[in-house]
Amino acid sequence: MLTVERSIIINKPVKDVFDFITAEGNSLKIQPDVTEIVDHGPRNTVGSSYTEVRKFIGQEMRTTMELTVFEPEKKWVAKVIKGPVPYEMTITYEPVEGGTKYTCSISGETKGFFKLAENLVAVQLGKTLEHSNQLLKELVEKA
């Protein structure tokens, strides 16, 4: 089981951070490795799904995700329903002094190439989450 989690403090209220993240098109702004997101029906409702295309460790990955938890301004969880690596992504929003603690956690079972390179995957995924969190912080704080 591979689990990678990164948090960051964003100097804005939870509502501002949540609204930015859930607005259409903003996921691409904070995930430079994602080249496309295709919604399959309504967004941000439990049971809704989307496909994202990304480059990860030099490979293009197409992954279809299903939203399993949607608690506005608290928690967002999606799981892979089709793709090369089964995983679940959990995002939480916690009010803290001066703003919001934003946490993104990814956990799943690696297989195939990704199992062989699990340590490399964990390191790269951690760097990717740190970079995305920093981009989110910069964009939300300047808005």
> What pLDDT, in 10s, does the model give residues 13-31?
999 999 999 998 899 999 9
Report residue 115's pLDDT band, with 50, 70 and 90 as the boundaries.
low
pTM for the full predicted model: 0.89
Give me the CATH code for the 2-142 domain, please: 3.30.530.20
Rounded Cα distance between 86 and 50, Å, is: 15
User: Per-residue pLDDT for 136 more than 80?
Assistant: yes
pLDDT of 23: 92
pLDDT of 120: 73
Nearest-5° Cα angle at 31, 30 to 33: 150
3-state SS class at 72: coil
> What pLDDT, in 10s, does the model give residues 56-111?
767 788 999 999 999 999 999 999 999 888 899 999 999 999 999 999 999 987 76
H or E stretch including 93?
strand 87-96
Residue 11 — φ and ψ, nearest 5°? -80, 55
Rounded Cα distance between 90 and 67, Å, is: 10
**What are the Cα distances from residue 125, in Å, to 69, 92, 104?**
22, 18, 11
pLDDT of 46: 97
pLDDT of 57: 67
DSSP-assigned beta bridge partners for residue 60:
55
